[in-house]
Structure 1
């Protein structure tokens, strides 16, 4: 006589948090970028299952001369940035608009790296100029495409810092700002959480050389074709130049 013994189901391991790197692209004196990055990082940190790392290119400057054989000083500078980019699952680039484009320090950071960007979504938070940094963002999209990252269509952008919502008669429920303004990576959450052989692999085939050009991301995670509303407390500073 034999008895069937049920095999216990192993517990499901906890899902690791999405590692979001927020990159501050402005390095100018008197810049407004850190305020915007801090505001975005605070709201993104309110989302469950997400860890945020703010990489300020002014505080971690990279060498201006690109080389395959960096010296000790250059290697030390790269060591403060490269491992953090490699560890990230997604990026939110905070950029102003300079002369209808983006800052040189941001381009330098992109050019120093390659595999660190591959198969990862990139969202944008832009400000400055009459377009709210839109032209800077549109110039960045083909650059990130060349390093096989995928940019998210939805973006946060502002031409001017807004006063607090209370001064404008606006009210938002607690948490609404976090849901709205952390949106640039929100549409890709399903891809980031997926196992390697499912929808995340589909994203990988789109943007990695040699992949199947017919593969496409599932429609359920297609980025929203809209810009996020800006009535949830963009940082303000009357003395700061809004174009920096």
Structure 2
């Protein structure tokens, strides 16, 4: 906000993978700055809870149950989002799926699921929503990649490769659509303390050692927060940042330079 001005007042924002964790926080951040929101995901109960929270902020919100790896489901989502919101000003492609392992250990089905969730979902969402932005000759797309896209991490072969593809896709779309007034940028977060991360930590054989390994990757003695990720996404989508497109922003505690 600048003073009492909300940067996204009356803008329509679609956030995939937003029924929980980082995606939900991103949706709430946009709503707090005046945006109407489409919550996209699979969990209807969590989706409706998120919608209720946003409506409590005085903004319009809708939950659309979507399998982001399925073309028909994504097309239906895009149609419903346009009917409910009327337009799309910002699209945040946040949905993701992580499979651990080196190439010899990753099952083909897990490899395909990782790519479908992390890469194909971005393509499908943009394929069906980008034309509406092009018609308006304005809009911002923010794709969520990962620190693993920027350098090698042990047992992250599929995830790292998929997130690197997201970076490449971001740059290609920026080149293709900048003349039409569409900005496309990418955020690469490092490890963030989400509910899912803490849940996985408690089920690790050595939680303290595992968390310390996450910390040792960075220049900071702490991990990121979902609030910081949400602020970075709003920065990339900020309508005043017209000169920023095709960019890859890291938010990783210095992991990519250590």
Which fold has the larger relative contact order, with Cα–Cα distance below 8 Å and residues 6 or more apart in sequence? 1
TM range (shorter): 0.3 to 0.5
* Structure with the higher fraction of residues in helix conformation: 2
TM-score by length of 2: 0.46
